Amino acid sequence: METLFRSPSVDFHAFAPEIVLVLVLVVLLFVDLVFEERGRWATSTVAGIGLLASLVPVLTLAVAGGDRSLFDGAYVVDDFALVLKGLFLVAGYVTVLISTDYVAEGDYYEGEYYFLLLSSLLGMTVMASARDLISIFVALELLSIPAYLLAGWRKRDLRGNEASLKYYLLGVFASAVMLYGMSLVFGVTGSTVLSEIGDALAGGSSTVPVVTVGIVFVVVGFGFKVSAVPFHTWAPDTYQGAPTPITAFLSVASKAAGFVALLQLVFIAFLGQDDVWAPLFWVLAALTMTVGNLIALRQTNIVRLLAYSSVAQAGFMLAPLAVAASIPAERGGIANATEAVVTYLIIYAAMNLGAFAVVMAVARKTRSGEIGSYGGLFDYAPGLAVLMAVFLFALAGIPPLGGWYAKFVVFKSLLDAGTGAAVALAVVAAVNSVIALFYYASVARQMFMDPVPDGDTTRVQVPAALTASLALCAVATVAFGFFPNLAARLGDVALFGALP
Amino acid sequence: MLVNQFLVLGAVLFSIGVYGVLARRNGVLVLMSIELILNAVNINLVALGALQGASGAVTGQVFALFVITIAAAEVGVGLAIVLLIYRNRASVDLDEVDLMKG
Amino acid sequence: MAAQNLVFAVLAVVAVLAALRVVTTRNVVHAALYLVAVLGSVGALYVLLAAEFLAAVQVLIYIGAIVVLFLFGIMLTRPTLGRESGLDNDQRWLAGITGLFLFGVLSYVLVEAFGDERLPRLEGLDREALTAERGTGAVGDAIFSTYLVPFEVVSVLLLAALVGAIVLARRE
């Protein structure tokens, strides 16, 4: 029996960012192979330049404009995808900057490190465009599997091993549960393309229990990825045990990728089923903010503090999802919530990466992650202390630093929804903003008021790459605060092409 | 054949797998339990796909193929991690791998 | 029809009993062998569902590669092979209740949703037309046209997993 195979027509411009990334991956492998020990420094350079190069097609696609829908809507390059691809690539570039000296001095496998980092980023850029269950699953695994390995990159460190194992086992379990949910959704709707699932589910007015179970399992699977309470247990241990640049990467880029998938699934495929996911996200958001903040109060290690703070921040990002369906159309509806989450993600990336960059710079001298070792930082490294204060107060949401606008858009979409549940969530969020201020401020007090614990006040040597990343994050954090239109503009255009 | 014969079998395997993940404390055994869940997923995909006519049947099978491929990659990575831990600690007991109390 | 149901019953019983042994046995190697029984039965179920290619992949990849990886893992990390205590943690009862609860919920919603829907009967239909529209060829065509992006992504994923696993597992 002869079957006729029609080779698909591929819009190569739409795939250009991913193609450039794959080429960079190949170049990385060859550089590592050819130069061996002599040219190990070259790998970080190649990775950094490669990431900037893959930003170029993102820009040309943005300039060319228009939504590109490929493979019957399974892969879409719209403004949402482009903004998030840009975010992932820039966050990846900053991660390469903060990794450069850390990895070079630690005698780790450099070529392979950057290879895995860029593979994970490739998964994220694919995720931003994936509008089909199979693509979302495959992209999720491509961004996770290198991350499991990178978490254990400090091979001889027992904490690093533990970080990797916990992250891996919980991650694989969560993706298996998510897949079971996807199989049910596929079974009911008969399609894996998100827009077709959305049409099929919108047809039935009452909610079928099997769809409910499917949606809950999918949301639980991604709840792990974004470290929502009660699926956050891996996060603090993994963050503490993993190499610090990878921790920064996980807490920003990997979390953003989880939110991207959630936004796509919930707002395209499950749009008509909001009586299932709205209460679910409400509980997740409230729990995540509160539990994250309360545990963060007790932390004595700066990385664990930032880990729990990033759990709490995820709660704020989940909040617009909880109320999205009740935002009236004249206030933007779903688009309002999408804008809030994307804006929050962009600003959060700048301030959180910045905070981790300072932690790495300080650890170069103190060799410690204890908050106590930050005592008197202002005396011997005033620049770092001021920067840390900027990032911490930005995370707390103090104007005029970037974080206030992120919090503002979340509160705005909660109040635009206006329902009792939304207002209640806004109150929870407000209380949590105050709690968070305590632990951010206590680190700042340590840096400015307390004496240096061991009396050693030699200056901290900050290498050039780390300085560059600090400068980038600081400028972005401050600029987003003073000119919120910058972030708002990005969040504003980042809408799904398919949305009404 | 009823489609539910397959789906309920999938539900049994899924539940057994979840039990294994929660009850086992050996890393390799937890991974095996996760494989049970993935098999439940694949039974669902193929049976529910067959319900949807030819294109659904193909989609279900393709999805299941991707699941199997990625399961292989996951197990490879998992055993590398387990081996790494065993080398440093001579044990793959999950209760012992708990330096930092979450 | 009756023959198919009989085959299904045998395979299902084997799969469930073996799966129970995977999660309860006190010998790690036995767990891997019981896993083979589960995987084999599931592979045979794919044949019942007219998914022959998937059945072949199940045997080749799952039994042939993944279980062998498991056995390697066990042999490299076990000082002794045999019965051991301490493979389970103290949450067995909680885990059992969770499992039973999940099974109750899932079987209820599945029966509610798919009731007595029957799988389409394929026996009487034209064999060639069936092969063309849902046989191995059709699956291959779908992978290389509709699902080209995930296919390419998986290839990068396998390479990344390979590179990373070698770095972590190799001796210093």
Q: Which of A3-7, B96-100, C121-125 has the lowest mean pLDDT?
A: B96-100
CB A121 within 8 A of CB A108: no
Backbone phi, then psi, for A132, in 5-degree steps?
Answer: -155, 140
* Overall pTM > 0.80: yes
Contact residues, chain A, for B102 at CB < 8 Å: 233-234, 236-237
Q: Is A116 helix (H, G, I), strand (E, B) or coil?
A: helix
- Candidates A116, A134, A138; nearest CB to C160: A116
d(CA B19, CA C96): 6
- Res A271: pLDDT: 86
Which pairs with CB-CB distance under 8 Å and at least 24 residues apart come from B82-86? Answer: B82/A165, B82/B27, B82/B28, B82/C73, B82/C77, B83/C73, B83/C76, B83/C77, B83/C168, B83/C169, B84/A152, B84/A155, B84/A161, B84/A164, B84/C168, B84/C169, B85/A161, B85/A162, B85/A165, B85/B27, B86/C76, B86/C77
- Res A499: pLDDT: 44
- Res A358: pLDDT: 94
Contact residues, chain A, for B88 at CB < 8 Å: 155-156, 158, 161
Pull the structure tokens for residue C51.
């998914």
Tell whether A210 is within 8 A of chain B (Cβ): no
Name the pLDDT band for A4 (thresholds 50, 70, 90).
low
- Res C58: pLDDT: 95
d(CA A148, CA A165): 8
For the cut 80, the answer to whether the pLDDT of residue A107 exceeds it is no
d(CA A5, CA A11): 19
CB A164 within 8 A of CB A157: no
- Res C92: pLDDT: 87
- Res A207: pLDDT: 65
- Report the half-sphere exposure of C165 (CA within 13 A, side-chain side): 21
- Res B92: pLDDT: 65
| DSSP states of A236-281 | HHHHHHS-HHHHHHIIIIIHHHHHHHHHHIIIIISGGGHHHHHHHH
CA angle A250, A164, A307 (to 5 degrees): 40
Element (H, E) at B84: helix B53-89
User: Domain residue spans in chain A?
Assistant: 273-500
- Res A164: pLDDT: 92
- Res A497: pLDDT: 62
Which pairs with CB-CB distance under 8 Å and at least 24 residues apart come from A379-388? Answer: A379/A452, A379/A457, A380/A452, A380/A457, A380/A458, A380/A459, A380/A460, A381/A459, A381/A460, A384/A358, A384/A460, A384/A462, A385/A447, A385/A448, A387/A354, A387/A358, A387/A470, A387/A474, A388/A355, A388/A358, A388/A362, A388/A443, A388/A444, A388/A447
Element (H, E) at A206: none
| Closest CA relative to residue A487, chosen from A348, A361, A385, A312 | A348
d(CA A19, CA C156): 12
Average model confidence (pLDDT) for chain C?
89
Name the pLDDT band for A206 (thresholds 50, 70, 90).
low
Name the pLDDT band for A3 (thresholds 50, 70, 90).
low
Tell whether B34 is within 8 A of chain A (Cβ): yes
Give B67-89 pLDDT, tens digit per residue.
Answer: 999 999 999 999 999 889 888 87
- Res A500: pLDDT: 33
A-B Cβ pairs (cutoff 8 Å, strict): 116
Q: Is C1 helix (H, G, I), strand (E, B) or coil?
A: coil
- Res A1: pLDDT: 45
Element (H, E) at B47: helix B27-51
- Candidates A138, A146, A208; nearest CB to C160: A146
Q: What percent of chain A has a predicted confidence (pLDDT) above 90? A: 60
Sort A73 into a burial class: Cβ within 10 Å, 0-12 / 13-18 / 19+. middle
- Res A432: pLDDT: 93
| Closest CA relative to residue A165, chosen from A111, A103, A237 | A237
Mutation site, B77, B91, B95, B98, interface A, largest A CB count within 10 A: B77
Task: Indicate yes or no: CB of B54 within 8 angstroms of CB of C46.
Answer: no
Average model confidence (pLDDT) for chain A?
89
Task: Over range A245-258, report the average pLDDT.
Answer: 94
User: Domain residue spans in chain B?
Assistant: 4-90
Give C37-82 pLDDT, tens digit per residue.
Answer: 999 999 999 999 989 999 999 999 999 999 999 998 888 887 666 6
Pull the structure tokens for residue A138.
């495959």
Backbone phi, then psi, for C90, in 5-degree steps?
Answer: -80, -5
Element (H, E) at A395: helix A382-396
Contact residues, chain B, for A162 at CB < 8 Å: 85, 97-100
| Closest CA relative to residue A452, chosen from A382, A361, A388, A386 | A382
For the cut 60, the answer to whether the pLDDT of residue C27 exceeds it is yes
For the cut 80, the answer to whether the pLDDT of residue A313 exceeds it is yes
- Report the half-sphere exposure of A492 (CA within 13 A, side-chain side): 6
CB B100 within 8 A of CB A241: yes
Question: Is omega for the bond preceding A230 within 30 degrees of 0, making it cis?
Answer: yes
Element (H, E) at A76: strand A75-77
- Res A450: pLDDT: 83
Tell whether C100 is within 8 A of chain B (Cβ): yes
Give B15-67 pLDDT, tens digit per residue.
Answer: 999 999 999 888 889 999 999 999 999 999 999 999 888 889 999 999 999 99
- Res B60: pLDDT: 95
Nearest residue on chain A to C110, judged by CA atoms?
A210
| Closest CA relative to residue A243, chosen from A140, A370, A149, A124 | A149
CA angle A312, A101, A29 (to 5 degrees): 100
Pull the structure tokens for residue A108.
């780790």
Query: How close B68 gets to chain A, by Cα (Å)?
Result: 12
State the DSSP code for B94.
T
Task: Indicate yes or no: CB of C145 within 8 angstroms of CB of A7.
Answer: yes
Q: Within 10 A of A127 (CB to CB), how many other CB atoms are there?
A: 26
The single residue listed with the structure tokens 């395997």 is B13
Q: Within 10 A of A304 (CB to CB), how many other CB atoms are there?
A: 22
For the cut 50, the answer to whether the pLDDT of residue B102 exceeds it is no
| DSSP states of C125-160 | S-HHHHHHHHSHHHHHHHHHTTTHHHHHHHHHHHHH
Q: Which of A163-172, A246-255, A302-311, C112-121 has the lowest mean pLDDT?
A: C112-121
CATH topology of domain B4-90: Helix Hairpins (1.10.287)
Name the pLDDT band for A109 (thresholds 50, 70, 90).
confident
Q: Within 10 A of A499 (CB to CB), how many other CB atoms are there?
A: 14
| DSSP states of C48-94 | HTT-HHHHHHIIIIIIIIIHHHHHHHHHHH-SS-SB-S--B-TTHHH
What is the identity of the amino acid at A47?
A: A
Q: Within 10 A of C36 (CB to CB), how many other CB atoms are there?
A: 19
Give C124-153 pLDDT, tens digit per residue.
Answer: 777 777 777 788 889 999 999 899 999 999
| Closest CA relative to residue B80, chosen from A168, C32, A254 | A168
Contact residues, chain C, for B62 at CB < 8 Å: 139, 142-143, 146-147
B-C Cβ pairs (cutoff 8 Å, strict): 237
Q: How far is CA A150 from CA A37, A161, A340, C16, in A?
A: 21, 10, 31, 37
- Candidates C113, C149, C163; nearest CB to A116: C163
CB A337 within 8 A of CB A346: no
| DSSP states of A145-165 | HHHHHHHT-STT-HHHHHHHH
Task: Indicate yes or no: CB of B88 within 8 angstroms of CB of A161.
Answer: yes
d(CA A349, CA A317): 12
d(CA B40, CA B25): 22
Task: Over range A4-17, report the average pLDDT.
Answer: 84
State the DSSP code for A193.
B
The single residue listed with the structure tokens 């009967």 is C121
What is the identity of the amino acid at A175?
A: S
- Res B101: pLDDT: 46
Q: Is C22 helix (H, G, I), strand (E, B) or coil?
A: helix
Task: Over range A301-315, report the average pLDDT.
Answer: 93
d(CA A89, CA A17): 10
